[in-house]
Amino acid sequence: MPKTIAKPAKPKRKQRKTPPAPIPPLPRLKLLEGDGEPLESDWHVVQIHLLDELVRQLFEGRTDFFCGGNMFIYYSFGTTY
């Protein structure tokens, strides 16, 4: 007869006594939309799609990755206008 191993019970999470602090609203920001330079040539578009396809082939069957291109990220409020 095979031995069974009992899994330890998960400890119960403590209930919060006070509600979480509200998140302050973000200020209205005018975000930079461009610098007057063209974003990309036709070659850049082909490169973005090629790299995207290569990464998706490399990670085929996996669901723990994200692949994107031609995205702009604001890292802090100081970089907005």
Q: Give the tens place of pLDDT for each residue, 24-73.
A: 887 787 766 766 766 678 888 888 899 999 999 999 999 898 888 877 66
pLDDT of amino acid 5: 72
- Range of 51's domain? 42-79
In a domain, 15, yes or no: no
Give the tokens for residue 72. 């702009």
CA 10 to chain centre: 30
Q: According to the model, what pLDDT value does residue 35 have?
A: 67
Does a structural domain hold residue 24? no
The more confidently predicted of residues 1 and 21 is 21
User: Does the pLDDT of residue 81 top 60, yes or no?
Assistant: no
pLDDT at 54: 94
Is 74 domain-assigned? yes
Number of domains observed in the structure of the chain: 1
Residue 31 gets the label, from left (phi > 0), alpha (psi -120 to 50) or beta, of beta
